[in-house]
């Protein structure tokens, strides 16, 4: 497999991460920031996977597993916080 | 050897698809006007883009232990990503961050109106 495929994938994941970062910084509400940080985490998982394919190893799989199974906790906590604050 | 090159090409195609979905989510995140449209744009690649990347890993690594771990990973992501998206949308609706006039159909409001009144302060929260 030629290198330009991996270069293209890396550039695309970089653009996605930068756009998510822009939304985290600029996002008008805290929910926009949480959506963008969720997406940034998914992009990081995808980047770990692409790096494993490029270098031909499987050492990052546990990190991907833990990230995928605990990524939702942050959003749930922030969402609970937002509804609690607006209720009272 | 011809099988190897076919699998390599498929791996590249799946990786490119995963990257393209990530970029599409990023563009949606940048361009869409409000929180719930951005949520719509970003929740697709959370499952499908990751599934493409995991498929690329499975095609490249072709071992039973790796593929089992990848299946677990995808199942975890499929369980948890809708939970966080649902919680964020619910908090936005209840917190008034989602503008009511931006919704064409608001089934939740009808459900809330139809529900009997109850005291929703949680015990122990005071």
What are the structural domain ranges in chain B?
A: 2-115
Which domain does A20 fall in, by range?
2-87
What's the pLDDT at A69? Answer: 85
Quote the ipTM score: 0.86
Asked if B51 and B21 touch (Cβ cutoff 8 Å), the reply is no
Residue that is written with structure tokens 């290198």 in the block: A3
User: How many domains would you assign to chain A?
Assistant: 1
Q: What is the dihedral of CA B107, B109, B113, B114, to 10 degrees?
A: 20
- pLDDT digit string, tens, across residues B50-95: 999 999 999 988 889 899 999 999 998 898 888 888 888 888 887 7
Q: Answer with the residue of higher pLDDT: B105 or B50.
A: B50
Q: Answer with the residue of higher pLDDT: B67 or A27.
A: B67
Interface contact flag, A35 B45, Cβ < 8 Å: no
Q: Please return the burial class of A45, using the count of CB atoms within 10 Å of its CB with bins 0-12, 13-18 and 19+.
A: buried
Give the minimum alpha-carbon distance from B24 to chain A in angstroms, rounded to a whole number.
8
Q: Please return the burial class of A76, using the count of CB atoms within 10 Å of its CB with bins 0-12, 13-18 and 19+.
A: middle
Give percent above pLDDT 70 in chain A. Answer: 92
Q: Which residues in chain B have their CB less than 8 angstroms from residue A68's CB?
A: 50, 73, 76-77, 80
Nearest Cα to Cα of residue A70 among B76, B104, B34, B95: B76
- Asked if residue B124 has pLDDT above 60, the reply is no
Q: Which residues in chain A have their CB less than 8 angstroms from residue B57's CB?
A: 49, 52-53, 58
Instruction: Work out the mean pLDDT of chain B and round it to a whole number.
Output: 84
**B29-44 burial by CB neighbour count: b if 16+ within 10 A, else e?**
bbebebbbebbebbbe
Nearest Cβ partner for A12 among B22, B42, B60: B22
- pLDDT digit string, tens, across residues A37-77: 999 999 999 999 999 999 988 889 999 999 888 888 888 88
- What's this model's pTM, rounded to 2 decimal places? 0.85
Asked if A32 and B40 touch (Cβ cutoff 8 Å), the reply is no
- Helices within A27-60 (DSSP H only): 30-55
Nearest Cβ partner for A46 among B50, B72, B91: B50
Angle of the B2-31 helix axis to the A30-55 helix axis, nearest 10: 160
CATH number of domain containing A57:
1.10.287
């Amino acid at each position: 497999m030629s290198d330009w495929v991996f270069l293209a994938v890396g550039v695309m994941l970089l653009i996605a991460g930068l756009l998510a970062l822009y939304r985290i910084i600029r996002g008008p509400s805290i929910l926009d920031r949480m959506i963008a940080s969720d997406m940034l985490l998914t992009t990081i998982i995808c980047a770990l996977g692409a790096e494993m394919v490029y270098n031909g190893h499987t050492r990052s799989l546990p990190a991907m597993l833990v990230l995928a199974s605990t990524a939702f906790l942050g959003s749930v906590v922030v969402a609970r916080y937002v509804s609690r604050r607006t209720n009272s | 050897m011809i099988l190897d090159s076919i699998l390599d090409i498929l791996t590249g195609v799946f990786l490119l698809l995963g990257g393209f979905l990530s970029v599409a989510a990023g563009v949606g995140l940048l361009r869409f006007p409000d929180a719930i449209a951005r949520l719509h744009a970003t929740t697709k690649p959370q499952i499908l883009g990751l599934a493409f990347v995991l498929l690329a890993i499975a095609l490249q690594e072709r071992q039973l232990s790796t593929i089992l771990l990848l299946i677990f990973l995808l199942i975890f992501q499929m369980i948890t990503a809708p939970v966080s998206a649902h919680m964020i949308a619910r908090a936005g609706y209840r917190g008034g961050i989602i503008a009511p006039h931006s919704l064409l159909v608001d089934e939740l409001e009808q459900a809330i109106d139809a529900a009997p009144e109850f005291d929703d302060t949680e015990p122990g929260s005071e």
